[in-house]
Amino acid sequence: MAALDLGGETPSVADRGVWLACIECGETHAPFDDVIYRCPDCDGLLEARYDEYPTFEDFEGRGVWRYADSLPFPEGVSIEEGDTPLYSVPGIEAAVDVESVRVKHEGANPTGAFKDRGMTVGVRVAQELGVGRLACASTGNTSAALACYGARADLDVLVLLPAGKVAAGKVAQASLHGAKILEVDGNFDACLDIVAELATRGDAYLLNSINPFRLEGQKTIGLEILEAHREEHGEWPDRVVLPVGNAGNTAALYKCFRELVAAGEMREDEMPALTGVQAAGAAPMVEAVREGRDEVRRWDEVETIATAIRIGMPVNAPKALPGIRATGGTAVAVEDEEITQAQRDLARDGVGVEPASAASVAGLRKLVDDGEIESDERVVCLTTGHLLKDPDAAAAAGSEPIPVPNDVDGVLDAI
């Protein structure tokens, strides 16, 4: 372990080696005395900090909790999340002019999305704080994961969904795991505004990605990518391409890389270039990156087939934008048709994903075509959720079943 910090104030309130620091003013706060989501002094986003940052040698075991030395607890409310595959995708690799493409498939998590990594940590923190009710706003996957992990921890779960805009598989998951589901006549951002207000009033513990402990769990995506990529290629990837909604993963991966720099595992100039992809109909981060702005402008009207990333105000933008810049990354918007084509291409390589996940591959293709990604780069695309999350989108992207009569000749005619 390396006794290094990530900058900012030396903590006055360290608790078990972990504390919260404001990314804006640097003020530090005890993590488990009170429930806080933002800096009480300046309203900035909070980040977990530790008195030591582990090296790869310190990790043992499997899944998210293999990385317990970089998490706030030695174990969590776990159903064996993490340890997802880093697939080769020969068809995509042949079609895209880069050195290599690998796909980190987070659809292989217990509830079929990366959110489980955040919830195994976040729900453990909720237990520590002794809260009674967990809550989130969701485009679907967060609600499925929170319902599942809340059930496992025997805690009440409340979820607010944008009415009519959440894929069927996700609502079914939240429902069966026992969450109370409220459908709001508004988009995801409106749901988040409401649930954040409930949390501030103390009516629920918020487990969206504004919660800094959620992102601690999601940091392990980066650790797994780096370990697996180095094992296969002998080096870190040059670039990680990922879909962006609330920008939690972008923030978490940047934090992962910075902690490895702090631990002496990685040089700053080796951090993979974080490359965010949004749907053209919901692209406030892309707009900010392309216009060189430090702040994201809220989009009130958002629309895309990739309902998981139908988000107009990414709450983690103040963490994610610096990550994209510091790593030499970029951001790009893709059309829904490009997303659907990438979903088909991934499926032909044997990787079944929901539309938002396919955005990463669509974005890679676009950036290569535009000459923004070089042919000598080793790239990892993050696919964030399983195909069955959104069966309607999958069926629409696939081919229609052919009705045939009940006899061999009829079947032979059809083939």
Ligand X SMILES: N[C@@H](CCOP(=O)(O)O)C(=O)O
Ligand Y SMILES: Cc1ncc(COP(=O)(O)O)c(C=O)c1O
Q: Is 211 flagged in the annotation as binding? A: no
Backbone angles phi, psi at 328, to 5 degrees: 75, 25
Shortest gap between Cβ of 249 and ligand Y (angstroms)? 4
Among ligand Y, ligand X, none, residue 138 binds (CB under 5-8 Å by kind): ligand X
Shortest gap between Cβ of 274 and ligand Y (angstroms)? 11
Per CB under 6 A, does 248 bind ligand X? yes
Q: Residues, the chain, total?
A: 415
Binder of ligand X out of 245, 276, 281, 329 (CB under 6 A): 245
How do 156-162 and 86-88 pair as beta strands?
unpaired
Among ligand X, ligand Y, none, residue 28 binds (CB under 5-8 Å by kind): none
Q: Is 246 flagged in the annotation as binding? A: yes
Q: List strand residue ranges (DSSP E) for 106-155, in order.
A: 133-137
**Nearer residue to ligand Y within complex by CB, 84 or 139:** 139
**Nearer residue to ligand Y within complex by CB, 54 or 217:** 217
b (16+ CB within 10 A) / e for 213-251: bbbbbbbbbbbbbbbbbeeeeeebbbbbbbbbbbbbbbb
**Nearer residue to ligand Y within complex by CB, 71 or 242:** 242
Spatial CA neighbour of 275 closest among 114, 137, 101? 101
The CB-based long-range contact list for 286-294 (8 Å cut-off, 24+ gap) reads: 286/244, 286/331, 286/332, 286/333, 288/317, 288/321, 289/321, 289/324, 289/330, 289/331, 290/331, 294/321
Spatial CA neighbour of 79 closest among 116, 128, 118, 113? 116
**Nearer residue to ligand Y within complex by CB, 189 or 259:** 189
- Confirm if 355 and 308 have CB atoms less than 8 A apart: yes
Binding residues for ligand Y, rule: CB under 6 A, are 113, 139, 141, 209, 243-250, 308-309, 354, 356-357, 384-385
Q: Is 82 flagged in the annotation as binding? A: no
* Cβ contacts of 111 within 8 Å, gap of 6 or more: 141, 144, 145, 148, 173
Per CB under 6 A, does 208 bind ligand X? yes
Kindly identify the residues of this chain, within the stretch 116-155, that bind ligand X according to CB under 6 A. Answer: 136, 138-142
Spatial CA neighbour of 311 closest among 396, 257, 249? 249
Among ligand X, ligand Y, none, residue 385 binds (CB under 5-8 Å by kind): ligand Y
Q: Is 141 flagged in the annotation as binding? A: yes
Tokens 């990787």 locate to 351
Q: Where are the alpha helices (DSSP H) in 1-82?
A: none
Beta bridge partners of 354: none
Helix (H, G, I), strand (E, B) or coil at 399: coil
Shortest gap between Cβ of 343 and ligand Y (angstroms)? 12
Q: Is 245 flagged in the annotation as binding? A: yes
Per CB under 6 A, does 355 bind ligand X? no
Shortest gap between Cβ of 366 and ligand Y (angstroms)? 17
Closest residue to bound ligand Y by CB: 245
**Nearer residue to ligand X within complex by CB, 197 or 413:** 197
Shortest gap between Cβ of 189 and ligand Y (angstroms)? 12
Shortest gap between Cβ of 342 and ligand Y (angstroms)? 13
Q: Which residues are annotated as a binding site for pyridoxal 5'-phosphate?
A: 141, 245-249, 384
The residues that touch ligand X, with contacts defined as CB under 6 A, are 136, 138-142, 208-209, 245-246, 248, 308
